Amino acid sequence: MPIVLNNWKFRECSEGNGDNSPWYPARSDTIGNQVHLDLLYNGLIPDPFIDDHEKNVQWVGRTNWEYCSVFQNSDCFRLLVIEGLDTFAKVYVNDQLVLESANSFRKYVLDIGACLNSSANILRIAFTSSLHEGRRLERIHGLSPCWNGETSRLHVRKPQYHYGWDWGPMLLTCGPWKPISLVSGTYVKDFFVRYSLNKDLTSVDLSIEVDLDLADNDKGTDLEVSIIDPNGQLVYVYEVSDIKMFNRLHYTIDMPHLWNPRGHGQQALYTFELKVNSLKLATRRAGFRKVQLVQDKDTIGRTFYFKINNKPIFVMGSNWIPAHSFTSILTCEDYRKWLQLAIDGNHNLVRVWGGGIYESDSFYSICDEQGILVWQDLMFACGMYPAYSEFVDNVKEELTDQLKRLRQYSSIVIIAGNNEDYQVAEANGFEFGIDKPYDKFPARLLYEEVFPEIVSRLTNDVPYIRSSPYSDALTKTRDTTIGDLHQWDVWHGNQEPYQNWDKLSGRFVSEFGMLSFPSLQTLDKAITKKEELYPESYLVEYHNKAGGSERRLATYVLENFALPSKFDLDHWQYITQVMQADCLSLAYRNWRRKWNNYECGGAVVWQLNDCWPATSWSIVDFHKTPKLAYYSIKRECAPIGIACRRNKVRIRDPEEPEDLSEQTPLHDFSNYKYSLDIWAFSNREQDNVSLSVSFYSSDTGELQSTITKSGIYLKNNEICNILNKHNSESLDGSTIVQAVLKNDKGEIIHRSSDWPQPIKHLNWKMYNEDLRLGYKVMQGKIKFSTNKPVKSVCISMRNMDMHVFSDNGIDLFPNDNQEVEIEGLEPDDSTIRIQHLK
């Protein structure tokens, strides 16, 4: 079996130092080594996540480094397996050069038997600064435009976010960031279960591919592949005598168990075990599913939605960036906690964004187990990449290596060639129609010819698109009628009011977002100078890499909410999270409604997570503490639920010209009428549910009227319009609306509310004078009650990241006591604080 090397040491080896630099021990508790972590481990740099230390460690990325490991050859090793080197590296075994690498995403299997001594052997890896090497390549091949980071990154095949992004620091690390191991026996180069389901999914034909690097003592021996079903029952044992380097085995399974997305069936995984000469060498799991990306013509343009096993799936998900600037520190448990947050938040898809990394096997394995769909970008982002021959050859090998690793995962249902590269080209005036040459945008060769061929050849029919977003070769990248859409006209672009999400919809919205502050505890951990803990301080702003964000954040807050009673970090953090929660929940609410007729096939928020402690678009901060938006999205994405929206229609004066343009709000003296839409959604059939709608005065909080409707039937996987333009004498622009859905036993299934917009116009001081908001802290939960509607009730406590909340930021209403479950909560916890809008 492979022996993983973990006894590394490292040193600086820049010019002028020669061999005089001291060696330091590298960390041995991570899956690989990255120089910043090893420097931090030895106390040689400050923590770049704390205060403004990022700027004090920039010298690290401009320096050359060397790693070394000494090993004994007691097992007669013959192969060196390198999972990843970041980035420009020369590998020496006993001072013999065995590899020159220029790609963080490549895997290498090297025959080093002839280089080894019978006793001690020295493996040495010299890393050249990616910053300097990238600039050298740029001088040779030319400068191209990009967004985020410096332009030289386009020539360097390393994680692009290391150069700094609008949510993360510039930390140009290097090192053997993935495991490096030694092999003495037979090595499994590839073990892939290729399969084809028949049309009605009742039979699956298997073609099992086994590619081996055979040790001499295994040549001519037996190979055995066992197939085990999801229940642990042995299905078949395939035996081959006199095995070859490459073997292909065929088998058919009738009535197979199918792999389904979460909420749509079981995640059935078959196990395939490979033995050579009776020794188990590899195990693979495979889930059988049929994936279709449906892009049919319709009256709008073209649809864009997924069918899994012939069933249309509405996607509700989030974008995933690397969860740390130094990903070798992440464990399987870290990935499990992050993805459990996605699951608990009712997400069914994560998009692995193209400026990070091809994620770890742990990440994809958990997605397979839990039924989380994966949208996989290839690692190209926000730039016009080159296509000179050496670069093309390099990325061909990269993609081949990565797809051979990733193609086994059932959760991956789409591969996109890049993130926003066509938008960069478009922004710089370059056209990319089918009749346009590649010379102005050379990477089209990769996205339109090289990548689709490799994806088609290597995977189990995973759909490929050239870019995200991408419409087609004849239209712009921001077309809302075809393809996927990055909808940034809220926050970026036109900076539209977020109440306009309905008209900003696309066929599939793969990015949209809103900024907010992280938890106070996350900021407190990142900023040691406590006098800097106020909203506009230097260090608070330093931990926000989004240009112009202070102005934009203030605009969105002040357009919608009254100024906090105190402008301190506590109140400002709360109000930015309330604003983000309202903004993003409205997007999901409006776009999910468009699922009927596939007008919108999904919404994927930017972003789930952070790579360092920061103010950003994330809905869960760096320390895995959910923001209020996480919970508001969770409610909108519930398997069964309701949503409501009031409609505002201007009553036209008969004497007005028909083409009279709309007035600005301050000069609009028109009368308006209001109506209410309420709709339900369900992932399964639900019969005999009932609806109750209550209307409250925003002046007094008193109940004005109630309407009910019973005997409602919810169809599986459809939107049910319960009330359409319903008129009520109690409904106007200032009414507070609560809708409650109950099952046939009278139990509450889901709640929804609609508050006046903008909510800042409520007279909170007068409204809250006689408010009686009560709560009782109990074992594992808090129980709330109120005498009038309360907006965005937020629970905070010490060690927020150590507790799991069932909900937060909730709206409360009279005669509807709500409970929030909190794992580990003790009744005598004195650190609990309750905030609400006021």
Backbone angles phi, psi at 622, to 5 degrees: -55, -35
Q: What is the CATH number of domain 638-656+665-761?
A: 2.60.40.10
Q: By the 8 A CB rule, do 386 and 154 touch? A: yes
Q: What is the CATH number of domain 187-286?
A: 2.60.40.10
CA distance 438 to 387: 10
Q: Is 66 a catalytic residue?
A: no
**Does the pLDDT value for residue 435 go beyond 80?**
no
Residue 598, SS3 per DSSP: helix
pLDDT of residue 20: 83
Between CA 660 and CA 664, with CA 662 as vertex, the angle to 5 degrees is: 135
Query: Residue 170 is which amino acid?
Result: M
The sign one gets for the Cα dihedral 115, 116, 120, 122 is positive
**Does the pLDDT value for residue 387 go beyond 70?**
yes
CA distance 55 to 529: 17
Question: Which of the four pLDDT bands, split at 50, 70 and 90, describes residue 110?
Answer: very high
Mean pLDDT (whole number) for 671-682 = 92
Mean pLDDT (whole number) for 228-233 = 98
CA distance 387 to 155: 9
pLDDT of residue 664: 64
Q: Which of 54, 133, 398, 420 is catalytic?
A: 420
**Digit-coded pLDDT (tens) for 50-77:** 999 999 999 999 999 999 999 998 778 9
Question: Which of the four pLDDT bands, split at 50, 70 and 90, describes residue 730?
Answer: confident
Six token digits for residue 389: 């021959």
Place of tokens 């505890």: 521
CA distance 129 to 270: 44
**Does the pLDDT value for residue 363 go beyond 70?**
yes
Q: By the 8 A CB rule, do 312 and 319 touch? A: no
Mean pLDDT (whole number) for 497-520 = 98
Backbone angles phi, psi at 699, to 5 degrees: -85, -45
**Does the pLDDT value for residue 303 go beyond 90?**
yes
pLDDT of residue 666: 66
Place of tokens 């989030």: 318
How many of the other CB atoms lie within 10 Å of CB of 360?
18
Question: Which of the four pLDDT bands, split at 50, 70 and 90, describes residue 17?
Answer: low
Question: Which of the four pLDDT bands, split at 50, 70 and 90, describes residue 406?
Answer: very high
Q: By the 8 A CB rule, do 690 and 707 touch? A: no
Question: Which of the four pLDDT bands, split at 50, 70 and 90, describes residue 322?
Answer: very high
Question: Which of the four pLDDT bands, split at 50, 70 and 90, describes residue 599?
Answer: very high
CA distance 10 to 123: 12
Topology agreement, domain 187-286 and domain 763-838? yes
How is residue 552 annotated by DSSP? Answer: H
| Polymer length of the chain | 838
Contacts of 595 (CB under 8 A, 6+ apart): 314, 601, 681, 718, 719
**Does the pLDDT value for residue 217 go beyond 90?**
no
CATH 2.40.128.50 fits 763-838, yes or no: no
Q: By the 8 A CB rule, do 249 and 227 touch? A: no
Mean pLDDT (whole number) for 190-207 = 97
How is residue 810 annotated by DSSP? Answer: E
Percent of the chain with pLDDT over 90: 87
pLDDT of residue 57: 98
End-to-end CA distance of the chain: 63
pLDDT of residue 133: 98
* Strands (E) located in 303-356: 305-308, 311-313, 315-320, 349-352
Mean pLDDT (whole number) for 746-763 = 95
Six token digits for residue 493: 């672009």
Between CA 287 and CA 297, with CA 292 as vertex, the angle to 5 degrees is: 170
State how far Cα 263 lies from the chain centre: 19
* Strands (E) located in 697-747: 703-714, 718-726, 736-742
Q: By the 8 A CB rule, do 460 and 194 touch? A: yes
pLDDT of residue 119: 86
The mean pLDDT of the chain is 95
Q: What is the CATH number of domain 3-183?
A: 2.60.120.260
Q: Which long-range contacts (CB under 8 A, 24 or more apart) does 160-166 make?
A: 160/354, 160/355, 160/356, 160/379, 160/380, 160/381, 160/382, 160/383, 161/321, 161/322, 161/325, 161/355, 161/356, 161/611, 162/61, 162/130, 162/325, 164/545, 165/355, 165/545, 166/545, 166/546, 166/547
How is residue 22 annotated by DSSP? Answer: P
Helix (H) or strand (E) holding 282: strand 279-286
Mean pLDDT (whole number) for 92-116 = 97
Q: By the 8 A CB rule, do 787 and 701 touch? A: yes
Residue 36, SS3 per DSSP: helix
pLDDT of residue 439: 83
Of 573, 544, 644, 568, which Cα lies nearest the Cα of 794?
A: 573
**Does the pLDDT value for residue 37 go beyond 80?**
yes
Kindly write down the DSSP assignment for every residue of 642-673, as one continuous string: EEEEEEEEEE--TTS-TTPPPPPGGG---EEE
pLDDT of residue 738: 98
**Does the pLDDT value for residue 16 go beyond 70?**
no
**Does the pLDDT value for residue 194 go beyond 90?**
yes
Of 485, 488, 470, which Cα lies nearest the Cα of 417?
A: 470
**Digit-coded pLDDT (tens) for 231-264:** 999 999 999 988 888 899 999 999 999 999 999 9
Place of tokens 């400050």: 46
Q: By the 8 A CB rule, do 622 and 610 touch? A: yes
* Strands (E) located in 512-635: 602-605
Assign domain 313-636 to its CATH superfamily: Glycosidases (3.20.20.80)
CA distance 393 to 402: 14
Mean pLDDT (whole number) for 413-433 = 93
Q: For 56, how many CA atoms within 13 A lie in the half-sphere containing its CB?
A: 12
Query: Residue 462 is which amino acid?
Result: V
Beta bridge pairs of residue 834 = 795
Q: By the 8 A CB rule, do 439 and 387 touch? A: no
pLDDT of residue 665: 65
pLDDT of residue 658: 64
Whether a cis peptide bond, with omega within 30° of 0, leads into 437 is: no
**Digit-coded pLDDT (tens) for 130-178:** 999 999 999 999 999 999 999 999 999 999 999 999 999 999 999 999 9
Instruction: Give the chain's largest Cα–Cα span.
Output: 100
Alpha helices, DSSP H, located in 4-155 = 35-41, 58-61, 130-141
Judge residue 535's burial from the number of C-beta atoms within 10 Å of its C-beta, 0-12 exposed, 13-18 middle, 19 or more buried.
buried
pLDDT of residue 436: 78
**Does the pLDDT value for residue 309 go beyond 70?**
yes
Task: Parse the chain into domains and list their residue ranges.
Answer: 3-183, 187-286, 313-636, 638-656+665-761, 763-838
